């Protein structure tokens, strides 16, 4: 039965990630440590081959893809950007612990981030983007795909489409890592779901 693999890869570390700060649409590059970590991962592990590449518009994702797949001609997909954290962007949870709205958001009582993005709007744009990518891959019909994006985006995609089903919190990806989904067109056309089959990258068994 015809199928396609779609590999979801989180970008490498930025200075904000290293400091434990919320980082949404602020366009930071990879940190020196983040770049070195990606290079080491590429040397030690196996990143899957693909025919099609898609990336968030933010620099950290485009840089990550350039390190891991230097020959890739990636399509920039604007809706794959991370959630807009509004007034919380660039701040840590510790800095926000006295913010009542932040506390409500963490508890799920508030869905719209002040000055930022509503949870439903974030989910809608990610799902629309992913479904468009799946359709594009199936239309080409000639190979698998890599999507380089953000941790929150990957969690959203996996929670919405991956089988076996699990909450978003189960799909946290380390920098430069992610998951592989297998899409069967015949199943996808009936119900948009995909089989979670592996982690990215693959670690050789002799290590």
Report CA dihedral (158, 137, 40, 27) to the nearest 10 degrees: -70
Tell me the average pLDDT of the chain: 96
Q: Assign 1 a pLDDT band (cuts: 50, 70, 90).
A: confident
Q: Which residues, 6+ apart, have CB-to-CB distance to 207 below 8 Å?
A: 44
Q: Is the peptide bond before 164 cis (omega within 30 degrees of 0)?
A: yes
Instruction: Report whether 179 contacts 173 (CB < 8 A).
Output: yes
Q: Would you state the pLDDT for residue 206?
A: 61
Query: Has residue 18 been placed in a domain?
Result: yes
Q: Which domain holds residue 171?
A: 4-200
Query: Has residue 30 been placed in a domain?
Result: yes
Q: Whole-model pTM above 0.85?
A: yes
Distance CA 144, CA 52 (A): 6
**Average pLDDT value for residue range 153-174:** 97
Q: Would you state the pLDDT for residue 76?
A: 98
Instruction: Please report how many Cα atoms fall inside a 13 Å half-sphere around the Cα of residue 97, on the Cβ side.
Output: 3
- Phi and psi for 185 in degrees, rounded to 5? -55, -40
Query: Has residue 22 been placed in a domain?
Result: yes
The CATH number that applies at residue 71 is 3.40.50.1240
Query: Has residue 206 been placed in a domain?
Result: no
Query: Has residue 102 been placed in a domain?
Result: yes
| pLDDT tens, position by position, 77-121 | 999 999 999 999 999 999 999 999 999 999 999 999 999 999 999
């Amino acid at each position: 039965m015809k199928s396609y693999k779609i590999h979801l890869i989180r970008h490498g570390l930025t200075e904000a990630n290293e400091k434990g700060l919320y980082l949404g649409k602020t366009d930071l590059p990879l940190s020196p440590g983040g770049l070195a970590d990606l290079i080491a991962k590429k040397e030690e592990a196996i990143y899957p081959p693909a025919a099609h590449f898609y990336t968030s518009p933010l620099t950290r994702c485009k840089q990550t893809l350039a390190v891991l797949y230097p020959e890739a001609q990636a399509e920039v997909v604007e809706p794959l950007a991370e959630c807009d954290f509004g007034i919380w962007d660039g701040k840590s949870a510790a800095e926000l612990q006295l913010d009542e709205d932040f506390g409500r958001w963490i508890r799920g009582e508030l869905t719209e981030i002040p000055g930022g993005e509503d949870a439903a709007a974030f989910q809608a744009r990610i799902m629309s983007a992913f479904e468009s990518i799946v359709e594009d891959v199936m239309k080409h019909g000639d190979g698998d795909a890599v999507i380089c994006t953000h941790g929150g985006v990957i969690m959203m995609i996996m929670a919405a489409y991956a089988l076996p089903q699990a909450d978003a919190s189960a799909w946290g990806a380390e920098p430069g890592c992610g998951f592989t989904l297998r899409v069967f067109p015949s199943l996808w056309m009936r119900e948009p779901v995909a089989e979670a089959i592996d982690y990215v990258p693959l670690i050789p068994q002799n290590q």
